[in-house]
Amino acid sequence: SAVISQKPSRDICQRGTSLTIQCQVDSQVTMMFWYRQQPGQSLTLIATANQGSEATYESGFVIDKFPISRPNLTFSTLTVSNMSPEDSSIYLCSVQTTGGGGEQYFGPGTRLTVT
């Protein structure tokens, strides 16, 4: 398994501002993902964070709104830019272990409220 930490654990932000969420893993992992979970909904994949290259975004998510960095194999950041109340969600970092069946483990999440 992997131990994942996220910062901040929660934040309340004003409309129009940006927030950067950090994800740190205790071991090197190839695959890191960012998910969003809006209230009462299931997990939605935002993007795959690729080390050394641009992130791969899912349909409906764009780099200008959710820029992602992945400077090495243990760290990634997700920025939520120009926030609106619709961005209020839990944001989750996830990593996939290599080998085996490809288990994914999740960080503790960041609860974001935009006012």
Partner 1 sequence: EDKVVQSPLSLVVHEGDTVTLNCSYEVTNFRSLLWYKQEKKAPTFLFMLTSSGIEKKSGRLSSILDKKELFSILNITATQTGDSAVYLCAVGSSGNTPLVFGKGTRLSVIA
Closer to partner 1 at the Cβ: 75 or 105? Answer: 105
Contacts with partner 1 by CB under 8 A lie at 1, 30-31, 33, 41-43, 45, 48, 90, 92, 94, 96, 100-109, 111
Closer to partner 1 at the Cβ: 54 or 82? Answer: 54
Taking the C-alpha atoms of residue 93 and residue 33, their distance in angstroms, rounded to an integer, is 6
Would you call 81 exposed, middle or buried from its count of C-beta atoms within 10 A (0-12, 13-18, 19+)? middle
The least CB distance from residue 44 to partner 1, in Å, is 9
The least CB distance from residue 48 to partner 1, in Å, is 6
98, 115 contact by CB (below 8 A): no
The least CB distance from residue 86 to partner 1, in Å, is 19
Query: For residue 107, what is the enclosing H or E element?
Result: none
